[in-house]
Amino acid sequence: MELFIAKKAKEVSPSSTLAIDAKFKSMKAQGLDVVGFGTGEPDFDTPQHIKDAAVEAISAGKTKYTPASGTLELKKAICGKLLADNGLEYEPASIVVSNGAKHSLVNAFMAICDPGDEVIIPAPYWVSYPEMVKLADGVPVALETTEENGFKFSIDDLKAKITPKTRALIINSPSNPTGMVYSEADLRAIAQIAVEHKIYVISDEIYEHLIYNGKHVSIASFGDEIKELTIVINGVSKTYAMTGWRIGYAAADKRLAGVMSNIQSHATSNPNSIAQEAAVCALTGSIQCVEQMREAFLARRNYMVGRINSIGGVSCLMPEGAFYVMMNISQLIGKTLGGRHIGGSDDFADAFLETAKVAVVSGSGFGADNYVRWSYATDMDTIKTGLDRLETFLKS
């Protein structure tokens, strides 16, 4: 019997970042000598003081439903963080705590998109953005950027994409997958356009602490008008190596936060009560643990970029933030590697995994078929092995 599947559901493609991780883990479980640079997940363990807070929370019986949009204590901790790190003043009623920043983003698109509303997404983009917009009945509109321009769009490029149906623009700085960081001047110019056209800005700031030169600036901090139009998205996954705990949050105008909270109250209720206690500890504790991780990422980035650019046939820019490198493979398109014709990034990623046993994410899901993405959120020995294998593979 053919099963009926809703059109909207059929059109959603699986997450390529999570798919490569599943494939990598299954190959590893089969005993294969595979190395993984697929999913962007810090290899560090969650800092001990944060884990201790969770154990204490269990012992203290913090095991019940909390308010759907998060505990007041955690919302206050988030407000404290937004003020201290980003100069943003929000009340707890403006905060919605969700099951990871991914969930916060889905809530945000559900809250602002009517059917057919367009959301401008600078490309290369994180794989989930277009699918989330489609799930919310919106229309993703890619705003192409080039490597020559550092993967940044110009104000004219942005203006050319704005139509009467434009509802929102996504800004992800530092960016997954390019590592690009917008300067304060760039962000001010973008904010001006958003205010002029009354376009929401979904500002995904999940990599804010992983900038290797300079400091993160939130676009919401440039005045009341842009703050009203911005939904700041953040979370503890990347900063505190807490990917599995599933705590993310949105900060927005109280009216929008209320709508997102209503949606969440029917879809999932509160995020895990114990993880919320751990997140309070993370956000109110010392930032020292984050600094140590950032320094390790910096050394890995420098090594990876140096090696890639010393190998013929591939190249990459120096990413300014996050923990990803976009490797340009355009010179390899049309060639044969590992006995396979390379027609695009999917072929390269498949051949590299099958022949050299190295998992990277194909650029096709990021809207960038001439690239594959390496994550350097893994240890230096693995990085060396992966790049040695790249060198050998390219000689095949």
CB of 377: closest distance to ligand GLU in angstroms? Answer: 9
Site for ligand PMP, residues 219 to 248, rule: CB under 6 A: 235, 237, 243, 248
Cα 192 from Cα 20, distance rounded (Å): 39
d(CA 137, CA 165): 13
Question: Looking at beta carbons only, is 126 or 352 nearer to ligand PMP?
Answer: 126
CA quadruple 52, 321, 15, 24: dihedral, nearest 10: -70
Six-digit token string for 360:
């990277």
d(CA 267, CA 118): 24
Question: Is 376 a residue that touches ligand PMP (CB under 6 A)?
Answer: no
Phi, psi (degrees; rounded to nearest 5) at 81: -65, -45
- Minimum Å gap between C-beta 125 and ligand PMP is 9
Measured at the CA of 291, the angle between CA 289 and CA 297, to 5 degrees, comes to 110
Q: Does 18 bind ligand GLU (CB under 6 A)?
A: yes
Residue 271 lies near ligand PMP (rule: CB under 6 A): no
State the minimum distance, in angstroms, from the CB of residue 137 to ligand PMP: 21
- Sorted by sequence, the CB contacts under 8 Å of residue 252 that are 6+ apart come out as 94, 96, 108, 230, 231, 232, 260
Of 15, 86, 107, 364, the one binding ligand GLU by CB under 6 A: 15
Signed CA dihedral, 257, 260, 266, 271: sign only: negative
Please count the residues of the chain. 396
Which of the residues 257 through 316 are near ligand GLU (CB under 6 A)? none
Site string for ligand PMP, 94-113 (x = CB under 6 A): ------xxx-----------
Question: Exposed, middle or buried: residue 304 (CB in 10 Å: 0-12, 13-18, 19+)?
Answer: buried
Q: From residue 96 to residue 135, what is the string marking binding to ligand GLU with x (rule CB under 6 A)?
A: ------x-----------------------x-x-------
Residue number with CB closer to ligand PMP (71 or 104) = 104
Residue 184, CA distances (Å) to 215, 218, 252, 330, 363 in order: 10, 8, 20, 32, 28
Residue 126 or residue 348: which is nearer to ligand GLU going by CB?
126
# of chain residues touching ligand GLU (CB under 6 A): 10
**HEC string for 45-59:** CCCHHHHHHHHHHHH
Extract the tokens encoding 129: 């953005």
Q: Do residues 330 and 324 touch, judged by C-beta distance below 8 A?
A: no
Is 126 a residue that touches ligand PMP (CB under 6 A)?
yes
Least distance to ligand GLU, CB of residue 278, Å: 19
Pairing of strands 361-362, 371-375: antiparallel
Please give the Cα distance from 318 to 307 (Å, whole number). Answer: 12
Beta bridge partners, 235, equal 248
Q: Pick the binder of ligand GLU from 40, 92, 122, 130 (CB under 6 A).
A: 40
Among 35, 39, 112, 304, binds ligand GLU (CB under 6 A): 39
Question: 157-196: which residues touch ligand PMP (CB under 6 A)?
Answer: 172, 176
Q: Which is nearer to ligand GLU, 118 or 320 (CB)?
A: 320
The answer to whether 17 contacts ligand GLU (rule: CB under 6 A) is yes
Residue 15, binding choice from ligand GLU, ligand PMP, none, Cβ under 5 to 8 Å by partner class = ligand GLU
Q: Decide whether 17 or 273 has the Cβ nearer to ligand GLU.
A: 17
Q: Among ligand GLU, ligand PMP, none, what does residue 235 contact (CB within 5–8 Å per kind)? A: ligand PMP
Is 176 near ligand GLU (CB under 6 A)? yes
HSE at residue 54, side-chain half, CA atoms within 13 A, is 16
User: Least distance from C-beta 361 to ligand PMP, angstroms?
Assistant: 11
**Of ligand PMP, ligand GLU, none, which one does residue 18 interact with (CB within 5 to 8 Å by kind)?**
ligand GLU
Measure the CA dihedral 130/132/137/143, to 10°. Answer: -20
CB 174 to ligand PMP: min, Å? 9
| Binding residues vs ligand PMP (CB under 6 A) | 40, 100-102, 126, 172, 176, 204, 206, 235, 237, 243, 248
| Binding residues vs ligand GLU (CB under 6 A) | 15, 17-18, 39-41, 102, 126, 128, 176
